[in-house]
Amino acid sequence: MTSDEFPRQAARQTRRRFLTVTGAATALAFGVNVAHAEAASAATPLPGDPFTLGVASGDPLPDAVVIWTRLAPQPYEPLGGMPYHAVDVQWQLAADERFRHVLRSGTATAQPEYSYSVHVDVRGLQPGRHYWYRFKVDGHLSPVGRTRTAPAPWDHPGRLRFAVASCQSWPDGYYTAHAHLAAEDVDAVLFVGDYIYEYGISAAGGLRNTTDPVPDQFRTEADTLDRYRLQYALYKSDPELRAAHQNTPWIGTWDDHEVQDNYAGLYSKSLDPIDDFTVRRASAYRAYWEHMPLRTPAPQGPDYLLYRRFTFGRLAEINVLDTRQYRSDQADGDLWKPDNPGRDDPARTFAGAQQQRWLLDGMRASRATWNLLANQVVMSRMDLDAAGTPTFNMDAWDGYTAEQTRILDGLAGLRARNPVVVTGDVHAAYAMDMKRDFDDPDSPTIGVELVGTSISSGGNGVDVSANGQNFLDHNPHLKLVNERRGYIVVELTPHELHASYRAVPYIDRVGAPISTIRKFTVEAGHPGLNPA
């Protein structure tokens, strides 16, 4: 039995148990009772504005986009303070922000078992254009959101712009970067993980030092469905995050903190029994889906197919990865460690065999000029070289070198057109040339990796820490380290990529300005970063 067969087998058994036990419980709690509640209480008025968590859109296709909201008049109460019955929600999508030309409309049902979230997959749209949308329920009208469809597959856009963002710990500071991101003219936001952090939150709200105490129910770590829902409600209470969602469609993926710090597949950082952690993962995955503009169906257990691909005409293709759900346990723990044989074990997996094939087959078939990989953790080699000893992050691709090598060899062997990896996780901005062989500085450059800093995680940050300087000193393919808070704007044309690293000087108070700290270009057909 290989190192990851046992957790897969355990997952299948536990999934059957999960669906048997919780499926029956859900049917009793939601199926039977909801029908009764609808008949008895269909006219129950809502206790306040149900749109406290805002609106969002995401996963744009040339002819479709998902629009989202969640009804929560009392967001920090169970089920958002909603009366316990299904609620019909009207929606509209228009060609203009004043809704003089409504193109699509309908009614969606917000169900209590999905925490009254609404996911409408609006079809029959025109490619490459803006639309405006809104929701209405019980006399309440939502904020108006703006979205945009992807270009048609045969189109040749002259320009596309994407923002890359990640890591937004609520108690670590204000979402000032999101306020600036909301004002950016981008086609989509690529959010590459750590939308929430599972940790308990103090009454003062950490670095935010709030005037109104954070409610008591947030003190404990999120590890149940109700508690994860509360965490999302708190994060989405931030007006800057809501504005960033309201202005632009998002394409998202998770990393670890949406479930638990540095979890690996069904392995818990806290060494929980696999059965227990499987139930926790199922709860976390359900809550994630409920709060993101994702298509149906919702997760029905501990598994969810999140990796997917988006085509933006002939200019760009975006491969969204999931490097948490399928991985083997880390080798020798999840921290920075000296080299060890476990890193090179070919039986250990990171993205999983099926996702590897999907990625490489898709890259082979792509006709796009630029091929982006939206990825959670650093894919390139990063040697900390602690005390003269090569030292690697066991939780990143460096901790799974056999699969790391297979992907890099695959990209090189396929002669994939202009691969660009965009990453989060490390709360720092990096810019790297990706090498076929990182042990050889003269090895061919096969692509670039653009690592975005955090929105807030890590607090104010610094320009370059001692560890950051160490990375620069020992990794010749690394061209930038900056540890302030912000995001990247990636602009693509048929001939060049332009990467603008944007950052704010502080987040412990509101109102910080944003500036571009570095720019790089990449010439199509000639991989490698050039200072701009």
Distance of CA 117 to CAs 111, 197, 518, Å?
7, 21, 39
Q: Give the confidence band of 458 by pLDDT, cuts at 50, 70, 90.
A: very high
Q: Is the peptide bond before 171 cis (omega within 30 degrees of 0)?
A: no
Mean pLDDT of 493-500: 99
Q: Give the confidence band of 9 by pLDDT, cuts at 50, 70, 90.
A: very low
Q: Where in the chain is the domain with CATH 2.60.40.380?
A: 55-148
Alpha-carbon span 512 to 508, nearest angstrom = 9
* Residue where the block lists tokens 């308990």: 200
Higher-confidence position of 29 and 155: 155
What ranges make up the beta strands (E) of 250-349?
A: 250-252, 308-312, 316-320, 336-338
Q: Give the confidence band of 49 by pLDDT, cuts at 50, 70, 90.
A: very high
Instruction: Look at residue 78 in the predicted model and tell me its pLDDT.
Output: 87
Q: Give the confidence band of 43 by pLDDT, cuts at 50, 70, 90.
A: low
Alpha-carbon span 329 to 268, nearest angstrom = 9
Backbone torsions φ then ψ of 268, nearest 5 degrees: -90, 140
pLDDT digits (tens, 9 = 90+) for 463-487: 999 999 999 999 999 999 999 999 9
Instruction: Look at residue 45 in the predicted model and tell me its pLDDT.
Output: 86
Does residue 10 surpass a pLDDT of 60? no
Backbone torsions φ then ψ of 142, nearest 5 degrees: -75, 165
Alpha-carbon span 252 to 394, nearest angstrom = 24
Does residue 246 surpass a pLDDT of 90? yes
Alpha-carbon span 320 to 374, nearest angstrom = 5
Alpha-carbon span 250 to 55, nearest angstrom = 12
Does residue 135 surpass a pLDDT of 90? yes
Hey, what are 69's tokens?
């909201």
Instruction: Look at residue 502 in the predicted model and tell me its pLDDT.
Output: 99
- The fold for domain 160-531 equals Purple Acid Phosphatase; chain A, domain 2 (3.60.21)
Alpha-carbon span 137 to 108, nearest angstrom = 10
Query: Reduced to 3 DSSP states, what percent helix, strand and coil does the chain have, rounded to the nearest 5?
Result: 25, 30, 45
CA-nearest of 306, 197, 304 to 251 is 306
Instruction: Look at residue 416 in the predicted model and tell me its pLDDT.
Output: 77
Q: Class assignment of domain 55-148? A: mainly beta
Mean pLDDT of 249-269: 98
Alpha-carbon span 167 to 453, nearest angstrom = 8
Alpha-carbon span 175 to 486, nearest angstrom = 9
Scored b (16 or more CB within 10 A) or e, 207-230 reads bbeeeeebeeebeebbbebebbbb
Instruction: Look at residue 44 in the predicted model and tell me its pLDDT.
Output: 76
pLDDT digits (tens, 9 = 90+) for 390-439: 999 999 999 999 999 999 999 998 777 999 999 999 999 999 999 999 98
What is the DSSP code (8-state) at residue 32?
I
First-last CA distance in the chain:
51
Instruction: Look at residue 29 in the predicted model and tell me its pLDDT.
Output: 30
Share above pLDDT 70 across residues of the chain, in percent, rounded to a whole number? 92
Q: Give the confidence band of 81 by pLDDT, cuts at 50, 70, 90.
A: very high
pLDDT digits (tens, 9 = 90+) for 326-364: 999 999 999 999 999 999 999 999 999 999 999 999 999
3-state secondary structure of 145: strand
Cite the DSSP H helix spans in 194-269: 225-236, 239-247
What is the DSSP code (8-state) at residue 143?
P
Does residue 3 surpass a pLDDT of 70? no
Distance of CA 244 to CAs 155, 166, 190, 470, Å?
27, 13, 12, 34
Instruction: Look at residue 485 in the predicted model and tell me its pLDDT.
Output: 99
Q: Give the confidence band of 1 by pLDDT, cuts at 50, 70, 90.
A: very low
* Contact of 506 with 172, CB cutoff 8 Å: no
Q: Where in the chain is the domain with CATH 3.60.21.70?
A: 160-531
- Among 101-105, 140-144, 305-309, 413-417, where is mean pLDDT lowest? 413-417
Name the burial class of residue 376, with classes exposed (0-12), middle (13-18) and buried (19+) by CB atoms within 10 angstroms of its CB: buried
Mean pLDDT of 439-456: 96
The pTM of the full predicted model, rounded to 2 decimals, is 0.93
